[in-house]
Amino acid sequence: MISGYSQNEYVRESVELLNRMRVEGVEPDYQIFGSVVSAVANGFVHGLGKLIHGQVSTSGFIGDMLVDTTLIGMYLKFGNVDDAFRLFDQIADRDVVSWTAIISGLVLNDRSDEALCVFREMLDSGVRPSSTTIASGLAACAHLDSFDWGSSTHGYVIRQRMRVDVAVQNSLVTMYAKCGHLEQSWFVFDSTLEKDVVTWNAIVAGYAQTGHLHRSLFLFEKMRDANERPDFITVVSLLQMCASPGALQQGKRIHSFVIRNGIGPCISIHTALIDMYLKCGDLCRAQKCFDEMPEQDVVSCSTIIAGYGSHGKGESALRMYYDFLCSRIRPNHVTFLAILSSCSHAGFFCEGLRIFKSMTEDFKIEPKLEHRACIVDLLSQAGKVQEVYEFVKRMFQQPSIDVMWVYGYDELGDVIYRELITLNPESAGNFVQLVHNYASLGRWDGVGKTWMQMRSLGLKKVPGWSSIELHGIISTFFVDHTSHPQYAEMMFMLNMLSTEMQDSTTNVRTDSMRN
């Protein structure tokens, strides 16, 4: 009975039945405890998890492999990695299930570096991994862009002649793609006989996320030809790739596909559409997508606030923020970064400070480096130079910001920037802004010294760029870069056009003189 409740995620009923058993003098065994722990984990009931763990301990089942592994999985689902590790360390004879539970849980909690260390430790201990373990290890490699470990894991699978199921093949496709090795990713994909929607999603997302939108759209069409129905993951991957000024038409086509095929309604697709339209500069369609959402969440609200702010629409961002506060959704650090950045861009000094105060006092959210950066920006724009210096001195960590040298306080600006660089030397942005400030004051000795310091640290200024979509292909151009594959042809055509324009101008002048 308890097992049935657990499998159907009836948490309260599982726990009540367990308590009734104990009241009636029937002691549960390890299987019953395992079922109840699974139910609590799937229901994300944190308090009950600790309570059931206590009952397991008093009943003497700590040390049982099944119960311990289930408890480890529960704590990892709750995000409590430390308690999971404590239980894992207590297991004397770990089997493949317990190793896999801790590895997959660490990946789930964005601690892929630790997952990879545990995976290595498992291989060193002589325990043979299962296909689930391999898939989790490859997922960790993908998150870390660790091609060396990913390819060596692939080699291990081949040498050990392990059975490669769809999960492992999908993980290999994703790992190679995320590590930038699309040829290997395509080879694994092409050699997969039984492709499912996850396999197709992996290759489509792989090409999309590495900037190959045209290829990913081609594969998207092939996926449909193979009678494999794209899901929300496929659509979100493509929309994220279309979120740039040169890809609006492609994004609209994906949007039309979503409507025609009835994919959704899904918060993640709506949010991806909002983000795509905002980044493509179509604010009206972004607002329409937001208004049409059956249910809005903190991510979608933060996205549209950030979008309005990035386009200089500070009043619209503030309106959306205050509408957001009227709902029952609680803002998070991303929301506050979006609205503070909007206030900074629009120069809303008083509103920005009021919101920053509300963030720390009303919502008890500890400001991060980026939030403080926005406040420094606001203070500097308002000419509060001394306040800027005091605020910077109080920071625990330093942001990469544009502290304006205003009202003749160039020495104070110099001090602030030098302090920023000392505390955050890996940020090229601070160096570049310091160079600009020195140049504006004619202090060329400072310009030269700062550039030399940047070069000695191996830092480079990110060049300006633009992109254009033509016949479904997006071309990106960087300032002073000749890396485009058609650069020679483009320069030849540009020189021809320039010559023709000069000839036309000369002919016009000659005709005018004759007249």
Contact 424, 430 (CB under 8 A): yes
One domain, residues 457 and 475: no
Q: What is the mean pLDDT of residues 12-36?
A: 59
Q: Extract long-range pairs of 356-361: CB within 8 Å, 24+ residues apart.
A: 359/331
Mean pLDDT of the chain: 80
Amino acid at 155: G
Neighbours of 350 (CB within 10 A): 10
- The pLDDT of 169-192, averaged and rounded, is 93
> Same structural domain for residues 446 and 503?
no
Same domain, 390 and 473: no
Same domain as 426, residue 480:
no
Beta bridge partners of 465: 478
Cβ–Cβ < 8 Å for 316, 332: no
198 falls within a domain: no
Would you say residue 245 lies in a domain? yes
Distance, in Å, from the CA atom of 406 to the CA atom of 209, rounded to the nearest integer, reads: 41
Instruction: Give the CA diameter of the chain.
Output: 116
435 and 478 co-located in one domain: no
Task: Point out the least confidently predicted range of 1-15, 162-176, 262-276.
Answer: 1-15
Domain count, the chain: 3
Strands (E), 443-493: 465-470, 473-478
- The reported pLDDT for the residue numbered 402 is 42
The pTM of the full predicted model, rounded to 2 decimals, is 0.66
Average of per-residue pLDDT across 204-220: 86
Residue 355: is its pLDDT beyond 90? yes
Domain for residue 1, yes or no? no
pLDDT, position 212: 85
Task: Give 297-320 pLDDT, tens digit per residue.
Answer: 999 999 999 999 999 999 999 999
Q: For 95-149, give the secondary structure using H, E and C.
A: CHHHHHHHHHHHHHCCCHHHHHHHHHHHHHHCCCCCHHHHHHHHHHHHHHCCHHH
Q: How far apart are CA 481 and CA 141, in angstroms?
A: 32
Which residues on neighbouring strands pair with residue 477, listed in sequence order? 466
Is position 99 within any domain? Answer: no
354 lies in some domain: no
- Using the 8-state DSSP alphabet, how is residue 364 labeled? -
What percentage of the chain reaches a pLDDT higher than 90?
A: 40
Q: Give 13's pLDDT tier (boundaries 50, 70, 90).
A: low
Answer whether 294's CB lies under 8 Å from 265's CB.
yes
- Tell me if 267 is assigned to some domain: yes
Which of 255, 277, 295 is a domain's end point? 295
Question: 454 and 375 in one domain?
Answer: yes
Pair 437, 494 in one domain? no
Give 402-427 as a DSSP string: -----TT-HHHHHHHHHHHHHH-TT-
pLDDT, greater one: 42 or 220: 220
Clarify whether residues 413 and 488 are in a common domain. Answer: no
Mean pLDDT computed over 252-259: 92
Compute CA distances 492 → 124, 141, 205, 478, 507, whole Å: 59, 44, 35, 18, 23
Residue 353 falls within a domain, yes or no? no
Asked which of 178-182, 407-411, 432-436 is least confident by mean pLDDT, the reply is 407-411
Among 280, 295, 310, residue at a domain's last position = 295
DSSP state for residue 397 in the 8-state scheme? S
Q: Is the pLDDT of residue 179 over 80?
A: yes
| CA pair distance 402, 383, nearest whole angstrom | 13
User: In whole angstroms, what is the distance from residue 379 CA to residue 244 CA?
Assistant: 31
Q: How far is CA 384 from CA 317, 341, 413, 468, in A?
A: 24, 18, 12, 41
Residue 275, number of CB atoms within 10 A of its CB: 24
What gap in Å lies between CA 294 and CA 363, rounded to an integer?
26
| Res. 72: pLDDT tops 70 | yes
Please compute the mean of the pLDDT values over residues 175-204 and round it to a whole number.
Answer: 92
Range of the domain at 211: 206-295
In a domain, 10, yes or no: no
The tokens describing 359, both together, are: 């963030």
Instruction: Kindly state the tokens that stand for 236.
Output: 């979100």
Give the residue with greater pLDDT, 328 vs 506.
Answer: 328
Could you say which DSSP state residue 348 is in? -
- Domain identity same for 375 and 459: yes
Minimum mean pLDDT range among 6-10, 93-97, 180-184, 450-454: 6-10
Same domain, 218 and 270: yes
Give yes or no: residues 220 and 236 share one domain. yes
410 and 395 housed in the same domain: yes
Determine the average pLDDT of the residues in 163-179: 92
Residue 411 clears pLDDT 80, i.e. is over it: no
Which of 54-68, 103-117, 235-249 has the highest average model confidence (pLDDT)?
A: 103-117
Residues with Cβ within 8 Å of residue 327, at least 6 apart in sequence? 296, 301
